[in-house]
Amino acid sequence: MQKKSLIEKLHDIQENQKNTNHLPKDMIIEAAKESNVSLSKAFGVATFYTMFSTQKRGKHIIRICQNQSCHMANSALVVDELKKTLCIDFGETSEDGLFTLEHSSCLGMCSIAPCMMIDDRPYGNLTPGKVVEIIHSIKVGA
Amino acid sequence: MKIYRIHALICAGGQCITAGGDSFEEALKRAITEKGLEDEIQVVETGCMGACEKGPMMVAYPEGILYVHLKPEDANEIVEEHFLKGRPVQRLMWKEADGNFPTLDQVPFFAHQTKVVLRNCGLIDSENIEEFIAREGYSALAKALSSLKPEEIVDEIKKSGLRGRGGAGFPTGLKWEFAAKEVSDQKYVVTNADEGDPGAYMDRSIIEGDPHTIIEGMAIAGYAIGASKGYIYCRAEYPIAIKRLDLALKNARKFGLLGKNILGSDFNFDIEVRMGAGAFVCGEETALLRSIEGKRGEPTNKPPYPSQKGLFGHPTVINNVETFANIPFIIAEGYEKFRRIGTETNPGTKVFSLAGKVITTGLIEVPLGISLRKIIYDIGGGIPNGKKFKGALMGGPSGGVVPASKLDTPIDFESLQEIDSMMGSGGMIIMDEDSCMVDIAKYFLKFTVDESCGKCTPCREGTRQMLEILERISSGKGKETDLEDLLSLAKTIQQTSLCGLGQSAPNPVISTIRWFRDEYEAHIKDKTCTAGVCSMKKPTLEVKKNAKKIAH
């Protein structure tokens, strides 16, 4: 096996920050040293990819699919309901620190649009009522 | 081997699982155990069956009875009535408009397809390597290693006329030949599974449904060009696909189909999966290679092409998932058989993900040269709710809209280009009269503005300017000169952008202006949106502010 690339290291770091889902500054610096790349390059990588965040985020990341099929299936209604329920906008984290709302590129689930992903789990055929239930069930489980 | 009376194939494609297929499967297995039928009925999890809109779905063999839209509470009835008493449950079966209940081979959605790439999808348990082998899996690799020289393989692929399925349609055999001719102690084979086009999920379905076919195709490529190492770059949004790939690689190593001295030959080859981190531009081959190296996924100038100087500076063959899935068929069956499918200049099939306003949406595979009309009406069953077809979006943000007047255009690389559309990677979104073409163009421009990596100015700034004009038009503030300005900007961006993302970004605007100019003019001159999508005024208050009011 080859050595891990910087991106893989960053994936590992973020994976381990269970409650904040982000890349702490000191750990990026450490990964940069290990990979033998300059700090500017390492931060360049950490900020290039949308799935990495240098800012603290919520425990769960909600990624809303932005595709045309979802758009045509009224994903806007679902998004409005989520924003209302969590009292946040895109890029923000709910007050309890549980959820961060983000956009996602197409999740490839057009036949069951509108869809979203929370962490690694996809959800489809969404309605405003259904997302409230999903959020509630995650809160109860948390 | 154990003989079962009934084989119940449950679709475990991403969409069926998400629609509740996993809870149905659990309930079904429980019901089978409760009735003591474990020795008579085998439940198999397969890859995507294709009719995603009907999910969760299941096929019960030997008859091929199709069950659709299944819920956990349906499990008992199916086991009790069908599996035990032999009376299929009609209320859960696939029903055609004429009231018939067709079996799998009779449903028009499936009957009009030709399966080469998807030959195993929906038929085998993708997590079981033995099922793949039982379907002649890895026999093409065995044939290649035992009876063909590397140059004979390159020749076979060249003769097959296979063209890259990622969108551009470059001849695969030529690409391999370039890399094979390079002299280097290290070469690489890379699969581009960074499927990011909106509405495209062919690659994910192939990986989830038949991961070994990719491994086999890559190993054959490795042997042909003299590479010992391969990478599959898969986007992080596809966790199920990544999981199945990892498992497939592990099993292939265990069976001696990857690693050292494969099948007793002196050929060594192994593959690693690399996960993306959310960047559309990484689907561009040079950006993808930079990302595997652990860097920012920014495209670089070509030449040098990856076949000369690719991953870590070494000669690299990089192909799309679907391209590799064609390789085992061509090597096992011969190029003549492959050429019998499709047309002279576009042989073979293409997989599309059919989405939007069509009765049956899902994953389909058709011979190249077929018309869009056949896809929409014969396979997809037409437009729902008696609405009229307006346009088909092909090729995502790099493609264009095919209007109703061009429904009979053959689907091949050149014909689509002539009508300002594009084959693209295979996303196909069908729109009815309720869709506004200015809105569609705006949507894709917004997508490109978000995803532009920012390295070159025409793409970074030019697309933003185009978007501003489109936003003005759709909010009722369009000017007479806007259309000419859009087209002039489009031309500049096409000609001066660094990579394919920028060069193709204006396509949706160009094609919608060409085919739906009246609609643009209605927005500009009459300040009306005929489809009723554009509000023709400034966006209303932010939802967030409303939300706070409610919370108080």
**ipTM for the complex?**
0.94
To test the contact with chain B by mutation, choose from A2, A3, A4, A7 the residue with the greatest count of B C-beta atoms within 10 A, namely A7
B497: helix, strand or coil: coil
The reply to whether residue A105 touches residue B196, judged by beta carbons under 8 angstroms, is: yes
Which residue in A50, A67, A112 is closest to B278 by CB distance?
A: A50
Residues in contact with B290: Cβ distance below 8 Å, sequence separation at least 6, in sequence order = B296, B297, B298, B299, B300
For residue B33, give both structure tokens.
Answer: 């155990």
Sign of CA dihedral B105, B109, B111, B115: negative
Q: Between B195, B355, B548, which is nearest A110 by CB?
A: B355
Torsion sign, CA atoms B335, B192, B392, B521: negative
Model pTM above 0.90: yes
3-state SS string over B34-88?
Answer: HCCCCCCEEEEEECCCCCHHHCCCEEEECCCEEECCCCHHHHHHHHHHHHHCCCC
Whether the per-residue pLDDT at A5 is higher than 60: the answer is: yes
B85 CA to chain A: closest CA distance, Å? 33
Beta bridge partners of B8: B43, B60
Question: Which chain A residues contact residue B237 at CB under 8 A?
Answer: 63, 104-105, 107-108, 117
**Optimal mutation site among B296, B440, B447, B545, interface A, most CBs of chain A within 10 A:** B296
Mutation for B interface: A93, A110, A133, most B CBs within 10 A: A110
CA distance A67 to B429: 10
The average pLDDT across A74-91 equals: 96
- Minimum CA–CA partner of B197 in chain A: A106
- Extents of the domains making up chain A: 6-48, 60-141
CATH 3.40.30.10 domain position(s) in chain B? 6-105
- What local confidence, expressed as pLDDT, does residue B541 receive? 43
Query: Which residue is listed with tokens 């009735």?
Result: B35
Rounded to an integer, what distance in angstroms lies between the CA atom of residue B49 and that of residue B160? 27
Place of tokens 């790439």: B117
CB distance A111–B297 less than 8 Å?
no
Q: In the CATH scheme, what is the homologous superfamily, with its name and number, of domain B129-339?
A: NADH-ubiquinone oxidoreductase 51kDa subunit (3.40.50.11540)
CA B52/CA B68 separation, integer angstroms: 10
Number of alpha carbons in the 13 Å side-chain half-sphere of residue B434 = 12
The span from the CA of B44 to the CA of B41, in Å, is 10
Record: contact B238-A84, CB cut-off 8 A? no
The answer to whether B229 and B273 are in contact (CB under 8 A) is no
For residue A117, what are the β-bridge partners? A63, A122
**Chain A residues whose beta carbon lies within 8 Å of the beta carbon of residue B447:** 66
Q: What is the count of residue pairs from A and B with beta carbons less than 8 Å apart?
A: 148
Inter-chain touch B296–A117, beta carbons under 8 Å: no
Helix (H, G, I), strand (E, B) or coil at B304: coil
Which residue in B19, B195, B293 is closest to A125 by CB distance?
B19
Contact check, Cβ <8 Å, B362/A111:
yes
The single-letter DSSP state of residue B440 is: H
Give the gap in angstroms from C-alpha A112 to the nearest C-alpha of chain B. Answer: 6
pLDDT of residue B2: 85
Rounded-to-integer distance, Cα A26 and Cα A21, Å: 15
Residue B193 bridge partners (DSSP):
B234
Chain A: closest CA distance from residue B253 (Å): 13
Q: Within chain B, which residues score under 70 in pLDDT?
A: 537-552
B6-105 in CATH: which number? 3.40.30.10
CATH architecture of B437-525: Up-down Bundle (1.20)
Alpha-carbon distance of B337 to B10, in angstroms, equals 31
Architecture of domain A60-141 in CATH? 3-Layer(aba) Sandwich (3.40)
Q: Where in chain B is the domain with CATH 3.40.50.11540?
A: 129-339
What chain A residue is nearest to B239 in terms of C-alpha separation? A120
| Sheet order of strands, B270-275 included | B270-275, B229-234, B188-193, B316-320
Judged by CB atoms closer than 8 Å, whether chains meet at A7 and B277 is answered as yes
Q: How many CB atoms lie within 10 A of CB B164?
A: 22
Task: Name the residue facing B198 among A68, A87, A103 (closest C-beta).
Answer: A68
> What top-level class would CATH report for the domain B349-432?
alpha beta
CA distance B130 to B251: 10
Q: What is the DSSP letter of B375?
A: I
Is there a contact between A49 and B277 if contact means CB atoms under 8 Å apart? yes
pLDDT at A2 over 70: no
Chain A residue whose CA is closest to B205: A108
What are B255's two structure tokens?
A: 């069976």
Closest-CA distance, B380 to chain A, in angstroms, reads: 12
CB-nearest partner of B196 from A2, A106, A117: A106
Strand locations in B147-305 (E) = 188-193, 229-234, 270-275
Contact A120 B435 (CB under 8 A): no
